[in-house]
Amino acid sequence: MMDQESMNPSLYRPIQLGSLHVEGNLFAAPMAGYTDHVAREVALNHGANLAYTEMISAEALTRGSERTQRMMRRGKNEEILAVQLFGSNPERLGQAAQLAVQAGANLLDLNAGCPVPKVTRNGAGSALPRDPVRLKEILLAMAEAKVPVSVKIRRGWNELEGDYWETALQMAVEAKAVAVGFHPRSRQQGYGGKADWELLTKVVQESPLPILGSGDLRSPQDVHSMLSRTGCAGVMLARGAVGKPQLYSQCRHFLQTGESTAPLAPVEKLIMAKNHLESAIEAFGADRASRDMKKQLAGYTSGWNGSNVLRHELMQCPHAEDLLGLLDSAITKGSSSI
């Protein structure tokens, strides 16, 4: 338990994103290949206050891709549908924003932070802030859809070019964005090395907009530390919450009370995994679910002695029914035998 002097009961708090009131400041970050509508439902059920879609190609959306349109499906418990778009053409992003709002989006986010080469080679993702005029044009075009618009950025492109966050932040302010998600790594770093929370603190201090911090958030203590040390308005949990949706409720409890919750027993994690898998099968079909859910199952089946054996077996399963069978068997054995 934390001492009372180190506790700050206001760390878990509501956040206003333009016209949108969000009950708390624990967000599920947008992650390609992870945050489909079922995963978002799971995160929200376990305490996330808002969950973003996977990043959606403006080009594909405006060309009528049915698969891309399905990525904007609203979860059953999703009061705020937050759609993240990526691209580099202001006209396309403006059109995509309109289509997203027609599909029910309440909040739009521009991805200006993805470091993946297939995104950046076309001037999108973390390459976009290298052209601040274009960045501002895109944000203004998206704002024409008449819902709040935020933007996700990184610190810069690489060490040689230095940081671009100050210019990117200024463009966001001028375009009247409602918030900035900030990942304090460069494009060159990708997801390696250590996130620079000291820089995050500086960004918060210099920004008139709410800053949502991300990077190296794997525990309630990490979330408490980022909020208390940097002063950011909220946090975006990403890889640290994959297959660990209970992290949201654990973070909320820790921020409000300073007390840690008891860790889940292995069998509890397995039941959660099975429920998630069954929902994915219902939503996407057995083939896609068996393929896409393995990344989630790797997270669910970690953290106890012997879990690597079950995890390896799950990764080798070609079919959804085999995955369910393994999970059923492990659940039946109980936590003491896993």
Catalytic positions, please? 114
Cβ-based burial of 21 (10 A; exposed 0-12, middle 13-18, buried ≥19): exposed
Q: What is the Cα–Cα distance from 102 to 138, expressed in whole angstroms?
A: 19
**Which of the 8 DSSP states describes residue 7?**
-
User: Phi and psi at residue 269, in whole multiples of 5°?
Assistant: -65, -40
User: Phi and psi at residue 28, in whole multiples of 5°?
Assistant: -90, 115
59 contact partners, CB below 8 Å, separation of at least 6? 87, 89, 92
- For residue 156, the one-letter residue type is G
In Å, what is the CA distance from 135 to each residue of 5, 87, 90, 119? 42, 10, 8, 15
Q: What is the Cα–Cα distance from 96 to 107, expressed in whole angstroms?
A: 13
